[in-house]
Structure 1
Amino acid sequence: MRVGIVCPYSFDAPGGVQFHVRDLAEELIDRGHEVSVLAPAEESTPVPSYVVPAGRTVPIPYNGAVARLNFGPVVAARARRWVEQGAFDVLHLHEPVLPSLSMLALWAAEGPVVGTFHSSMDRSRGLQAISPVVAPMLQKLAARIAVSDEARRTLVQHLGGDAVVVPNGVYVDRFGIAEPSAAWRGTQERPTVAFLGRLDEPRKGLPILAAAVQDVLREVPGARFLIAGGGDAEEERELLTRHGDAVQFLGRISEEKKRSLFASVDVYVAPQTGGESFGIVLVEAMSGGALVVASGIPAFRAVLDEGRCGHLFRTGDPADLARVLVRALTDRAATADVRVRARHRVRRYDWSTVASQVLAVYDTVLDTERATVQDDLATRAVAGLLRSARRTGRGD
């Protein structure tokens, strides 16, 4: 099968959707399919051989973060040319309603098209405003995928229609076999807690964690907090550095170091306040063996099976976060069963399972397309016979 995948977000600053597109493409290639990915990226940006760079992007505030998108006539021409030359059996567009590459590819598309929706939000005046414009265009989608129930709810609420839920994927075993780092490994006396996310995006929750650290250290004086991620957060840095060597800022870390981090720490904390449709980092942490403590936003509750596979705290409440963290760090017996359940649950998110679900959507779309073509041929044949019979009856 020849598959074209479009990523709306820039590979210059990769995030969750870009990693999803990359991993899906590589899993499909490993299974023998031909894959081409069209994505925003500078010509000088290192990208995999299957990625076609679509040029530089513009940073745009979106859903509590900054999305790097590209649009315009030059990009539209590139997208059209890529679609035409690709002759894809299936075109798979991610976030097709964003004013970016996926929307441009949708305009140019002619054959079977699948759309995946990643975003989750309660209210969006922007989506409501463009709904009358994009709704007819979305009729070109032969199938819709949502990465979670939250993403599906956002789609239904703001744009109408429905979608099948296929979650984000993780290479679970890559995290499971990662080598722990002696510098990050927790001990009974000095357990470690990790945070990973953009430091300057308030919705990632670093201010909530920063406000909880002192209460945790009061009960667990040896605890260490490892803060990973890019961005400036001067106020939080100033607050956290007061705790001396109990807090360490790691900066941006590579994928390899991320896997090592999750294999090393006792607890991964996810204090996000909203705007998350799934929680892929929770699955990665569980795959690496870390116990997850997360805010009770709907997406995280779903991944953690309502607290059976991790601990939940009241969203936005530093005192409750501190209470749950202290319990997680001190009551190891109470967390043993949670870790076992988490280890089993992550298998459903492994790419071996997720890619098969995506391929099942492709097959359904192609089967429907073939059936439609056959129906059209049959209809034309019957119509031709009827016309011939009428001519015969008239003696033509």
Structure 2
Amino acid sequence: QGHDPFVVAPGDRVVDAGVPVRLLGRATPLPFNGSTARLALAPAQARAARAAAATADVVHVHEPLTPGAAFAAARGGRPLVVTHHAAFGVGALRPVLRARAALLPRDRVSLAVSEAAAATARAATGVTPEVVPNAIELPALSTQRSASASRPAHGAGRPMVLFLGRDEPRKGFPVFAEVARSGVDAEFVAVGPTTPTPGVSVLGAVSDAERARLLSAATVLVAPNLAGESFGLVLVEALAHGAAVLASDLPAFRAVVDDPAVARFFPPGAATAATAGLRELLATPPDPALTRAAAAPYAWDSVGPRVLRAYELSRSR
């Protein structure tokens, strides 16, 4: 598009992100919303983020109300776009969040990744953001459904059922493990968790390339998340690689895909219902062309122009 983007983020390890990255140093982990937020909280990190933001024509801050570097960058005086990701009940935090929001530029352009995130942002800031979903790079057709070599050797010839998520309670891995013990004739593979689990090939962390190969090799992606989700990015990734989706019946997941031809849903935590849904999907796997079509609205080709319009709007205010 002819633009010159750069990223400012916590971290102390250089990665190949495809764009220049300015690292702020190690993040501080804080438990929040059933997960762990990793924030750049040190005053020096906030100063560095604000200095970097001052060099940009447009600043795009994700989760602008979080303390530290993000909040500092948002208040740097440059044209500002903010994206809200989290979905949670604001409750007693409302006065604190409203006070912080009042310190942000009033002419900012506000986005949210889903209706669930938009509802949280509205309660926290008093501003209704435009919903612009997360996006992915669609895999090339030549790589989709072509990664059968990624299956564990002892599972060759059987359908692969994949779990992909961080090793934290809200991701619902114990539900996946219970389904794996149900007698379904499939190879169960987990990316993220590290605890040895009967009936599951537990891989822990894998490279991006291996992650893509596993998604392409999977027949079904299981997302047994319990709560606290604002967007089903892993569902979109699985669909884009040609896999069917079996997911907890969370509003954020239903908003991503609600087509019974490619997805089944079950009550959060209900392993028996999840097993029944899995048997249905394995009995009649959807055509990968259908799953890819379900993912198409979340391709950067579709979402990117909306983000660029937000940047242009921020500069016109």
The answer to whether TM tops 0.5 is: yes
Unaligned segments of structure 2, at least 5 residues:
none
Deviation of the 1:264 alpha carbon: 0.8
Q: Could you tell me how far apart the structure 2 residues matched to 1:195 and 1:358 are?
A: 30
Query: Distance in 1 between the 2:141 and 2:65 partners?
Result: 33
Please tell me whether residue 284 in structure 1 is matched to residue 237 in structure 2: yes
Secondary structure in 1 aligned to 2:202? strand
Q: Which residue of 2 aligns with 1:32?
A: 2
Instruction: Please state whether the residue corresponding to 1:173 is helix, strand or coil.
Output: coil
| Cα separation, 1, equivalents of 2:224 and 2:242 | 19
The corresponding residue for 1:390 is none
Aligned to 1:12: none
Please tell me whether the aligned partners of residues 59 and 67 of structure 1 are also in contact (alpha carbons under 8 angstroms): yes
Compared with structure 1, are the counterparts of its residues 202 and 176 closer, same or farther at alpha carbon in structure 2 (3 Å cutoff)?
Answer: farther
In structure 2, do the counterparts of structure 1 residues 35 and 310 end up closer, same or farther at CA, with 3 Å as the change threshold?
A: same
Residues 257 and 124 (structure 1), Cα distance of their counterparts in 2 relative to 1, 3 Å cut: farther
More deviation in 73-82 or 111-120? 73-82
- The answer to whether the Cα contact below 8 Å between 1:145 and 1:164 also exists between their aligned partners in 2 is yes
1:300 to 2:266 alignment: no
Hey, what does 1:73 align to over in structure 2? 43
CA gap of 1:344–1:56, structure 2 versus 1, over 3 A, is same
Tell me: CA distance 1:316–1:267, structure 2 relative to 1, closer, same or farther (3 Å): same
- In the TM superposition, residue 124 of structure 1 has moved relative to its aligned partner by 5.0
Does residue 1:98 correspond to 2:47, yes or no? no
Change (3 A) 1:32 1:112: same
The residue identity in structure 1 corresponding to 2:41 is F
1:283-320 CA-partner distances (Å, limit 9, x unpaired): 11001001111110011111112645411111111110
Task: State the match for 2:149 in structure 1.
Answer: 182
Preserved CA contact (<8 Å) 1:175 1:287: no
Contact 1:175 1:259 in 2 (8 A): no
Q: Is the 8 A contact 2:246 2:263 kept in 1?
A: yes
Check if 1:228 corresponds to 2:191: yes
- Residue 272 (structure 1) aligned to one of 196, 219, 225: 225
Q: Mean Cα displacement is larger for which, 289-298 or 72-81?
A: 72-81
Structure 1 unmatched runs, 5+: 1-30, 370-396
- Shift of residue 165 of structure 1? 0.7
- How far apart are residue 141 of structure 1 and its match? 4.7
Amino acid at match of 1:71: L
Q: For 1:194, what is the secondary structure of its paired residue?
A: strand
Change (3 A) 1:177 1:52: same
1:94: Cα distance to partner?
A: 0.7
Q: 1:150 is aligned with what amino acid?
A: A
Equivalence for 2:164: 196
Aligned residue for 1:8?
none
Q: Is 1:112 the counterpart of 2:65 in the alignment?
A: no
Distance in structure 1 (CA, Å) of the matches to 2:150 and 2:203 = 11
Match of 2:313 among 358, 364, 368: 364
1:210 deviation in Å? 1.5
Give CA deviations for 1:220-264 in whole Å, capped at 9, x if unaligned: 3x311011114x54xxx3xx32x4xxx211221111111111111
8 Å CA contact 2:86–2:120 kept in 1: the answer is yes
1:7 aligns with none
1:336 pairs with one of 286, 295, 298: 286
1:128 and 2:94 matched: yes
Distance 2:172 2:286 in 1: 26
The one-letter code matched in structure 1 to 2:60 is: H
Change (3 A) 1:124 1:180: farther
Residue 142 (structure 1) aligned to one of 108, 128, 131: 108
Counterpart residue type for residue 119 of structure 2: R
CA contact (8 A) 1:195 1:226 kept: yes
AA partner of residue 358 (structure 1): V
Structure 2 residue matching 1:114: 3-state secondary structure:
strand
Cα separation, partners in 2 of 1:227 and 1:154, compared to 1, 3 Å? same
1:103-150, CA deviations, whole angstroms, 9 ceiling, x for partnerless residues? 01123x21311101111113454x424223212123445210101111
Q: Counterparts of 1:175 and 1:283 in 2: how far apart (Å)?
A: 16
Distance across 2 between alignment mates of 1:51 and 1:349:
24
CA distance in 1, matches of 2:141, 2:271: 29
Secondary structure at the residue paired with 2:102?
helix
Distance 1:343 1:277 in 2: 22
Q: 2:27 aligns with which of 50, 57, 61?
A: 57
Aligned 8 A contact 1:90 1:111 in 2: yes
Structure holding more helix per residue: 1
For the aligned residues, what is the CA RMSD? 2.3
C-alpha distance in 1, partners of 2:49/2:106? 16
Task: Provide the rounded CA distance (Å) in 1 between the counterparts of 2:8 and 2:43.
Answer: 16
Q: TM-score, normalised on structure 1?
A: 0.74
CA distance in 2, matches of 1:124, 1:252: 35
Paired with 1:290 and 1:188, the residues of 2 have a C-alpha distance of 17
Larger Rg: 1
